Chain A
Amino acid sequence: CHGLEQGTGVERRGEGVELEEAEGCKSKEAEIKRINKELANIRSKFKGDKALDGYSKKKYVCKLLFIFLLGHDIDFGHMEAVNLLSSNKYTEKQIGYLFISVLVNSNSELIRLINNAIKNDLASRNPTFMCLALHCIANVGSREMAEAFASEIPRILVAGDTMDSVKQSAALCLLRLYKTSPDLVPMGEWTSRVVHLLNDQHMGVVTAAVSLITCLCKKNPDDFKTCVSLAVSRLSRIVSSASTDLQDYTYYFVPAPWLSVKLLRLLQCYPPPEDAAVKGRLVECLETILNKAQEPPKSKKVQHSNAKNAILFEAISLIIHYDRWVTPPSGAPPALLLLLPPPPPSAPPVLKVAILAEKYAVDYSWYVDTILNLIRIAGDYVSEEVWYRVIQIVINRDDVQGYAAKTVFEALQAPACHENMVKVGGYILGEFGNLIAGDPRSSPLVQFNLLHSKFHLCSVATRALLLSTYIKFINLFPETKGTIQEVLRSDSQIRNADVELQQRAVEYLKLSSIASTDVLATVLEEMPPFPERESSILAKLKKKKGPGAGSELDDGKKDPNAEMNGGVEPTASTASTPSPSADLLGLRAAPSASSGAPPSSGNLLVDVFSDSPSGTAGLAPGTEENFLRFVCKNNGVLFENQLLQIGVKSEFRQNLGELRVGIARGWGESSCPIHRGDGPGELNVQTKAVEPLVEGGAQVQQVLNIECLNDFTEAPLLNIKFRYGGTLQNITLKLPVTVNKFFQATEMQSQDFFQRWKQLSLPQQEAQKIFKASHPMDSEVTKAKLLGFGSALLEKVDPNPDNYVGAGIIQTKALQVGCLLRLEPNAQAQMYRLTLRTSKESVSKHLCELLSQQF
């Protein structure tokens, strides 16, 4: 309650003793007894012959209020409180208002008196008194008060001589009255002047005005439509303000966050501005907000990022709101989505737009339009989960299937069409192309030709998807069988170098030739709806039966004869997403050894044969130890089981590395290994093509070229899939590429070393670990390990000859990180202390972690 704090603070002195007694009462009965004693006392004072002076009246009314707040009923004192209202002393008036605001009384005589007092205070020209009166009206907000004052308050609000604090209170008071008694607050001349309050120099007035206008404009949009341009310019000024402006309204380095959010909300009450200048300013403003979100934060405090994000979310909400207006039926890209600045691969705005679009979609055809537009405009940055989701939604909703088919068909007409559009279009036409096949402009052959015209421009993954669409077409449109079979039969398909495409072409061709129409129809039945989930795209990665199952595996899953389509695993595209770090919520590209979660989105491994234990993703057992052995050496065996042995020979120079991964087969039937290297965004891993078939007893080698772009902590993954004895085997290993591989040893003298050591003295630059030795503490072995780690071994630097000191520079494309290390053995305790000092916190921590495990 307004003034409560001041009231109790001021009054404590007066009646502190009695009230503390009440609080100190040991039991409820004792408290009640004490309270009743006090009430009787006050009652007698009020009834007494002597007229009470102002101070005493205030004191007792305040006590009554306090007793009420403690939970006891009060049935007297109102008259005295009302009397206090007419006092000229602020403290007395305040207690009076406080009492009647909390203990509202419906006695009409009292109401008349109260309203009178309020009227006097409103007319008093004393800002403090006016505020007290306004707060009382706002807090009580009764119909009687509304009747009495609803016409007066707008006048006060827009009068030129009203003080800022009074304007604020008047705006909020009017808001309250409008909410409870809208019929008593008619629009009038004052509305345009209220809009001008948005230009006021006092931020508090602006904030209150925005709240008021936002509420009023919902029922009276025309009266307030001039607020749009003012809101835009105000927002623009806030967002581009320097840190020294708006000092009182800056919250953890964010200027006026709540006001910014409110302004963005207000703009969502209206369509996008038509005036070019206003529109331009708004676009600039939104761009600034989006850009600021991607800048490094000015403060580590969570309040800073929360405030920034609150504004960001509201801005995106506004953009999505505008999208509704700006998308013409022909599907041309909405101008406002074009204002999204080209974001880096891990694009929060794009994903957020998709998430928000789903959340706020009123009808799904709008949602489909939005996502397709997103693909059209920002196709590179649309991750798989986004277009999987739109497909999932289309499949689940009968009412939007025809619309989706029509829309993708139109979208595919564009000469330069993003590959993600081909994927979505290919899939949707494969499932629902029949819904538009009646129209000669989108007849089956036309649809096929359209898709096939893009075929050769697409990546392997997309082509695989299109082949599936083609077989679905054969089922849906028997008249296309001949044409499509010709395509499948062509050399470029059945002799395709890519195993996946070849297999699909061969098998689909066979299926189309020998299967009866009934069997074909069963196999290629329309995709059933996905089970609806509470969470949307956000939970996708955690679920095995994700939409990855939907897009590629429908054939494999529904095929009664698993062998026929055996080995169809999702070629979840690694090619089309520019970086595997287009992952959600910053989930890491590689899992830790302990989690069984599937690795990055670019390598979505879905369990086709769910009863096959080796089908699960996750690191193969024993890999951690082997991996660790590679930290200080470059050659060795990475993995071994009865089926195969995987060895690695590596060489590193500066920020480049070359790994030769040798896979040696044991005995048994021939297998068909498929490798895929996948890594964190900081490493660029290129693989050269490899022989698809490894005969028993033979060996195959794959060369991986690595470029280190930036420092990293997660190792890239090597995933090897092969068929052995009819079942699909799957091994995931961590590749022995750790950041120290890019360590360049640096020799230096003792003086230089200690100078640099002192320079790196900030706490975050140092990482230290004290640990027990897990290997014998042999000096020569230790030295060899440190050299193998990549560090230079500096002699005669540490005064203690038993200590080891090293130095080096981590070479990455983006930066070089100087590193100093010191290893102090304690032979007696069989322990070590390892200290790393580098200019980058993450590097210090990670190197310390890696190296400490070597000893």
Chain B
Amino acid sequence: MINFFLMVNKQGQTRLSRYYEHVEILKRTTLEAEVIKNCLSRSKEQCSFIEYKDFKLVYRQYAALFIVVGIDETENEMAVYELIHNFVEVLDKYFSRVVSDLESMQPASSLEKP
């Protein structure tokens, strides 16, 4: 199950947050801050799945924006990873220029070799 869906920028400001189970407001801010900290401290070679408390974080970076999805163990991480991209492509189709160049913003993905 997807527990939460976040869009956070590099400065730590949450641009969009959607929680699919109840999380208190104060806890949300802490969660978001910690989550972005985890994502920012990753290098390009490290994979996009982080174990965080009892979730897994699946994140993807588009320019200065991080999309982070918190999932539990019933989800397939790779599928969620691509779901994020699908989401961004849909936004792009709807609103155009959501990300100035989707292609060039691809994180250098070492996920090709499982």
| Residues in A lying within 8 Å of B, measured CB to CB | 1, 5, 251, 257-258, 261, 265, 302-303, 305-307, 309-310, 312-314, 348, 352, 585-586
Distance A265 CA – B79 CA, assembled complex (angstroms): 12
Cβ A306 vs Cβ B81 within 8 A: yes
A306 pairs with B74, CB closer than 8 A:
no
Given A5-B94, A307-B78, 15 more A-B residue pairs with CB atoms under 8 Å apart are A5-B95, A251-B86, A261-B79, A265-B76, A302-B106, A302-B109, A303-B85, A306-B81, A306-B111, A306-B112, A309-B111, A312-B114, A313-B78, A313-B114, A348-B114
Point out the residues of chain B lying under 8 angstroms from A257, CB to CB: 79, 82
Q: Is the CB of B109 within 8 A of A314?
A: no
Task: Give the docked Cα–Cα distance between A314 and B80 (Å).
Answer: 13
Q: 27 interchain pairs (CB within 8 A)?
A: A1-B18, A5-B94, A251-B86, A257-B79, A258-B79, A258-B82, A261-B76, A261-B79, A265-B76, A302-B106, A302-B109, A302-B112, A303-B82, A306-B78, A306-B82, A306-B112, A307-B79, A307-B82, A309-B78, A309-B111, A310-B78, A310-B82, A312-B114, A313-B114, A348-B114, A352-B114, A585-B113
Instruction: With both chains docked as a complex, state the minimum distance between the C-beta of A46 and any C-beta of chain B, in angstroms.
Output: 27
Chain A residues near B86 (CB, 8 Å)?
A: 251
Q: For the complex, what is the distance from the CA of A310 to the CA of B86, rounded to whole Å?
A: 14
A306 to B60, CA, bound (A): 13
Is B31 part of the binding interface, using a Cβ–Cβ cutoff of 8 Å? Answer: no
Within the assembled complex, what's the spacing in Å between the Cα atoms of A251 and B82? 9
Q: Compute how far the CA of A114 lies from the CA of B114 in the bound complex, rounded to whole angstroms.
A: 50
Interface flag for B83 (CB, 8 Å)? yes
State the B residues within 8 Å of A (CB): 18, 74, 76, 78-79, 81-83, 85-86, 94-95, 106, 109, 111-114
Query: Cβ of B78: which chain A residues have Cβ within 8 Å of it?
Result: 306-307, 309-310, 313
How distant is the Cα of A257 from the Cα of B79 in the complex, in angstroms? 8
CB distance from B21 to the nearest CB of A (A): 9
Q: For A251, what are the chain B residues with a Cβ–Cβ distance below 8 Å?
A: 82, 86
Asked if residues A265 and B114 are in contact (CB atoms below 8 Å), the reply is: no
- Contact present for B114 and A309 (CB under 8 Å): yes
Q: Which residues of A contact B74 (CB under 8 A)?
A: 265
Nearest CB on A from B18, distance (A): 8
A197–B86 Cα distance when bound, in Å, is 25
A125–B94 Cα gap in the complex (Å)?
28
**Are A258 and B83 in contact, CB atoms less than 8 angstroms apart?**
yes
Given the known inter-chain contacts A5-B95, A302-B109, A585-B113, please indicate yes or no for A314 contacting B76, CB distance below 8 A. Answer: yes
Q: How far is the CA of A348 from the CA of B113 in the complex (A)?
A: 10
Top 10 A-B residue pairs of the complex, sorted by shortest distance between their CB atoms: A310-B78, A310-B79, A261-B79, A302-B109, A261-B76, A305-B112, A309-B114, A306-B82, A307-B82, A314-B76
Q: Give the docked Cα–Cα distance between A1 and B18 (Å).
A: 8
Query: What CA separation (Å) do A265 and B85 show in the bound complex?
Result: 21
Closest chain A CB from B71 CB (angstroms): 12
CB A310 to nearest CB in B, in angstroms, measures 4
| Cα distance, A352 to B78, chains bound together (Å) | 15
Hey, which chain B residues are within 8 Å of A307, CB to CB?
A: 78-79, 82
**Chain A residue contacts of B106, Cβ below 8 A:** 302
The closest CB in chain B to the CB of A586 belongs to B113
Query: Which residue in chain B gives the minimum CB-CB distance to A312?
Result: B114
Question: For residue B94, which residue of chain A has the nearest CB?
Answer: A5
Q: Which residues of B contact A261 (CB under 8 A)?
A: 76, 79
- Measured between alpha carbons, how far is A313 from B113 in the docked complex, in Å? 12
A348 CB contacts on chain B under 8 angstroms = 114
* A-chain residues with CB within 8 Å of residue B79 when the two chains form the complex: 257-258, 261, 307, 310, 314
**How many angstroms from the CA of A771 to the CA of B14 in the assembled complex?**
49
Residue numbers in A under 8 Å from B114 (CB-CB): 309, 312-313, 348, 352
Docked Cα-Cα span, A261 to B71, in Å, equals 15
Shortest C-beta distance, A755 to chain B (Å), equals: 36
- Residues in B neighbouring A312, C-beta threshold 8 A: 114
A314 to B78, CA, bound (A): 10
Cα distance, A307 to B114, chains bound together (Å): 12
CA separation between A309 and B18, bound complex, in Å?
A: 27
- Complex: A251 Cα to B90 Cα, angstroms: 12
CB distance from B2 to the nearest CB of A (A): 11
Docked complex Cα distance between A313 and B76 (Å): 8
Contacts of A5 in B (CB 8 A): 94-95
Question: Inside 8 A of A303's CB, which chain B residues have their CB?
Answer: 82, 85
Expressed in whole angstroms, the Cα–Cα distance for A263 and B27 within the complex equals 34
Give B5 Cβ to nearest chain A Cβ, in Å. 11
**Cα of A257 to Cα of B80 in the assembled complex, Å:** 11
Docked CA distance A313–B95 (Å)? 34
Contacts of A313 in B (CB 8 A): 76, 78, 114
Instruction: Report the bound CA distance from A312 to B18 in whole Å.
Output: 29
Which residue, B79, B95, B111, B112, has most C-beta atoms of chain A within 10 A? B79
- Cβ–Cβ < 8 Å partners of B109 in chain A: 302, 306
Alpha-carbon separation in the docked complex, A149 to B2 (Å): 24
Q: Give the CA-CA distance A257 to B85 in the complex, in Å.
A: 13
Alpha-carbon distance A251/B79, docked complex (angstroms): 11
**Chain A residue with the shortest CB-CB distance to B111:** A306
Q: Which of A5, A258, A302, A307 has the most CB of B within 10 A?
A: A302
Chain A residues whose CB sits within 8 angstroms of the CB of B83 once the complex forms = 258
Docked pose: A312 CA to B95 CA in angstroms: 33
| Distance between Cα atoms of A312 and B78 in the complex (Å) | 10
User: Which residues on A sit within 8 Å (CB–CB) of B95?
Assistant: 5
Whether the Cβ atoms of A310 and B111 lie closer than 8 Å is: no
Considering the complex, give the chain A residue whose CB is closest to the CB of B83: A258
A23 to chain B, nearest CB (A): 15
Q: When chains A and B are docked, how far (Å) is the Cα of A302 from the Cα of B60? A: 13
Nearest CB in chain A: distance from B58 CB, A: 11
For the complex, give the distance between the alpha carbons of A305 and B78 in Å: 10
The residue among B111, B112, B113 with the most chain A CB atoms within 10 A of its own CB is B112
Chain A residues closer than 8 Å to B82, beta-carbon distance:
251, 257-258, 303, 306-307, 310
Smallest distance from the beta carbon of A798 to chain B beta carbons, Å? 39
Return A542 CB to nearest CB of chain B, in Å.
Answer: 14
Query: How far is B86's CA from A417's CA once the two chains are assembled, in angstroms?
Result: 49
Residues on B with C-beta less than 8 A from A310 are 76, 78-79, 81-82
Closest chain-A Cβ to B90's Cβ sits at a distance in Å of 10
A274, B40: Cα distance in complex, Å = 49
Instruction: Please name all residues of chain A whose beta carbon is closer than 8 Å to the beta carbon of B111 when the two chains form the complex.
Output: 302, 305-306, 309
Residue in B closest to A259 when the chains form the complex, CB atoms:
B79
A1 to B83, alpha carbons, bound, how many Å?
17
Q: How many Å from the CB of B84 to the closest CB on chain A? A: 11
Smallest beta-carbon distance B94→chain A, Å: 6
The residue on B at minimum CB distance from A264 is B76
Question: CA separation between A312 and B114, bound complex, in Å?
Answer: 10
Closest to A268 in B: B74
Note all chain B residues with C-beta closer than 8 A to A258. Answer: 79, 82-83
Residues of B within 8 A of A309 (CB): 78, 111, 114
In the complex, A456→B94 CA distance in Å? 71
Residue of B nearest to A211 (CB): B1
Tell me the nearest residue of chain B to A316, going by C-beta: B114
Closest to A348 in B: B114
Nearest A-chain residue to B81, judged by Cβ: A306
> Contacts of A585 on B, CB cut-off 8 Å?
113
Q: Which residues of A contact B112 (CB under 8 A)?
A: 302, 305-306
**B9 to chain A: closest CB distance in Å?**
16
Bound CA–CA A348/B114 (angstroms): 9
Report B-chain residues with C-beta under 8 Å of the C-beta of A305. Answer: 111-112
B79 to chain A, nearest CB (A): 4
The distance in angstroms between the C-alpha atoms of A213 and B81, with both chains bound, is 23
Q: How far is the CB of A268 from chain B (nearest CB, A)?
A: 10
- Cβ distance B39 to chain A, nearest Cβ, rounded Å: 18
Contacts of B113 in A (CB 8 A): 585-586
Task: Give the distance to chain B from A143, nearest Cβ to Cβ, in Å.
Answer: 13
A306 to B111, CA, bound (A): 7
Q: In the complex, what distance in Å separates the CA atom of A257 from the CA atom of B114?
A: 17
Looking at the assembled complex, report how far the CB atom of A29 sits from the nearest CB atom of chain B, in whole angstroms: 20
